[in-house]
Amino acid sequence: MVLKDARPFGPATGLSCRECGTVYELGPIFACSECFGPLEVAYDFGEVRRQDIESGPTNIWRYRALLPVPADVASKPNLQPGWTKLVKADNLAAELGLRSLHVKDDSGNPTHSFKDRVVSIAVEAARTFGFHTLSCSSTGNLAGAVGAAAARAGLDSCVFIPANLEEAKITMAAVYGGRLVGIDGTYDEVNRFCSELIGDELGEKWGFVNVNLRPYYAEGSKTLAYEIAEQLGWRLPDQIVIPIASGSQLTKIDKGFRELIKLGLVEDKPYRVFGAQAEGCSPVSAAFKAGQDVVRPVKPDTIAKSLAIGNPADGPYVLDIARRTGGAVEDVDDREIVEAIRLLARTEGVFAETAGGVTVGVLHKLVRNGVLDPEAETVVLNTGDGLKTLDAVAAEARPTAVIRPSLEAFRTAFAN
Ligand SMILES: *Cc1c(COP(=O)(O)O)cnc(C)c1O
Ligand SMILES: [Zn+2]
């Protein structure tokens, strides 16, 4: 493999095994050949200064010195995700009895979910490795993010989804013109199929963003940590509530916070990480509550389809982080998810997809149960747009009245 750019992965120095520490050269590999543990990007950052970040573009590339990407990444054709709003949620805070609450609203990304962050890093790796086709197994949002990113980058795409996803997510995945393949099965079955495809000549020269490019892809979630810290005025929050699908996002937000501390970009202080799942797919929450280290796979059944991974790859690391930081993992049922979507919309004008209903619902439950400190500075993530999961609230978010266009009809309708 010929690497044209002198440092196509910027500050990254190699891939290291999370389990046994074996170090590998940067390549399209994702599992340790010694112990099958997941590989993760290792760095030599050197000095990184706040002012260099602050003078960068208002997207994730302001953090390029902390990511496995080339120095000129911002000038290449890409979706420029990130720098989404950190909404000061005083109304929701008052309703829940919290002193300080922010909503990190990632519905503002180019394809309306947090997935644009991770895909953009994977696209760079795909280019460097000479892959002509971008691919993935998706619970919905990733399919759209890959389709759009490939279109912008001028790559082919072929994405795989469970055939029973929400209509909006199917449409969005297809509209960018790449191949979209629905599979009769759960996400976990789609994912297993993709692993087989990688081993076959059919999938040769394909970059599966969340499989053979996973170490690079996963690093994109760190930008959520960097943005939250910078938007709080270069401070870490005391508590943060993060959704769990594979658990990668939660794991990398913790990694991002620790890097900021190590680089001296924020003050070293404790923070507590809380994970959120839907009751209908809560293997990590179940393990946390049972005090176990092993995550037992489940068959998902929940309206929060974007989080419906029954066998979450990073589940054990999520348990470690929740326990190490004094956080917790909690779940809410479908009814609570819908109520939380409506609560967030009513109090803050933010319309979340079901995954946001899960985090806000879990936030509410943790406050009720006295697990979350109401005095501490809290951040809750909304990772997707409510327009993609309209069915969750369509039946109850209806017109107050439907009338003829006359004052009399209006007066009659609202007489009492
Ligand atoms: C993919 C996704 C997540 C988190 O996924 P992880 O696999 O845990 O990193 C969260 N919210 C939404 C809306 C998603 O699509
Ligand atoms: Zn290993």
Quick check: is 77 in a domain? no
Q: Whose CA is nearest to atom 7 of ligand 1?
A: 246
| pLDDT at 5 (0 to 100) | 63
pLDDT 10s digits, 180-227: 999 999 999 999 999 999 888 888 889 999 999 999 999 999 999 999
250 and 288 assigned to the same domain: yes
Q: Are residues 104 and 211 in the same domain?
A: no
- What single DSSP character describes residue 86? E
The reply to whether ligand 1 has any atom less than 6 angstroms from the CB of 327 is no
**34 C-alpha vs ligand 2 centroid, how far in Å?**
5
Q: b/e per residue, 165-193, with b = 16+ CB within 10 A?
A: bbebbbebbbebebebebbeebbbebbee
- Rounded CA-CA distance 288/327 in Å is 10
In a domain, 341, yes or no: yes
**The domain spanning residue 103 has which CATH number?**
3.40.50.1100
Given a contact cutoff of 8 angstroms between Cβ atoms, the answer to whether 260 and 229 are in contact is yes
Residue 45 sits in the same domain as residue 121: yes
pLDDT, position 251: 98
Together in a domain, 321 and 240: yes
Domain endpoint, select from 164, 192, 217: 217
- Other beta carbons within 10 angstroms of residue 161's beta carbon come to 25
What backbone phi and psi angles, to 5 degrees, belong to 199? -80, -10
Q: Count of domains in the chain? A: 2
- Same domain? For 123 and 36 the reply is yes
Does some domain include residue 406?
Answer: no
User: What value does the CA radius of gyration of the chain take, rounded to a whole number of Å?
Assistant: 21
Domain boundary among 177, 196, 217: 217
Query: From the alpha carbon of 113, which atom of ligand 1 is closest?
Result: 13
Is the residue at 402 inside a domain? no
Nearest CA to ligand 1 atom 4: 245
Q: What is the pLDDT of residue 415?
A: 82
Residues 133 and 149 in one domain: yes
Select from 70, 20, 12 the least CA-distant residue to 41: 12
363 and 343 in a single domain? The answer is yes
Residues 41 and 136 in one domain: yes
| H/E run at residue 283 | helix 283-290
User: Does residue 355 have its Cβ closer than 6 Å to ligand 1?
Assistant: yes
Residues 158 and 240 in one domain: no
Domain boundary (174, 194, 217) is at 217
Residues of the chain with pLDDT under 70: 1-5, 416
Pocket lining: 248 vs ligand 1, CB cutoff 6 Å: yes
Residue pLDDT, tens place only, 36-82: 999 999 999 999 999 999 999 999 999 999 999 999 999 999 999 99
Q: Is residue 150, in this structure, part of any structural domain at all? A: yes
User: Do 54 and 154 share a domain, yes or no?
Assistant: yes
Phi, psi of 136 (to 5 degrees): -170, 160
Whether residue 259 sits in one domain with residue 329: yes
Q: Which domain holds residue 126?
A: 12-71+115-217
Identity of the residue numbered 322: A
At 203 the pLDDT is 86
pTM: 0.96
Q: Specify whether 159 is located in the same domain as 24.
A: yes
- Hey, CA dihedral for 56, 86, 382, 314, is it positive or negative? positive
pLDDT of res. 199: 86
Instruction: Give φ, ψ of 112 to 5 degrees.
Output: 65, 30
Q: Can you give the pLDDT at residue 132?
A: 94
User: Do the Cβ atoms of 231 and 369 come closer than 8 Å?
Assistant: no
Confidence (pLDDT) at 228: 99
312 touches 338 (CB < 8 A): no
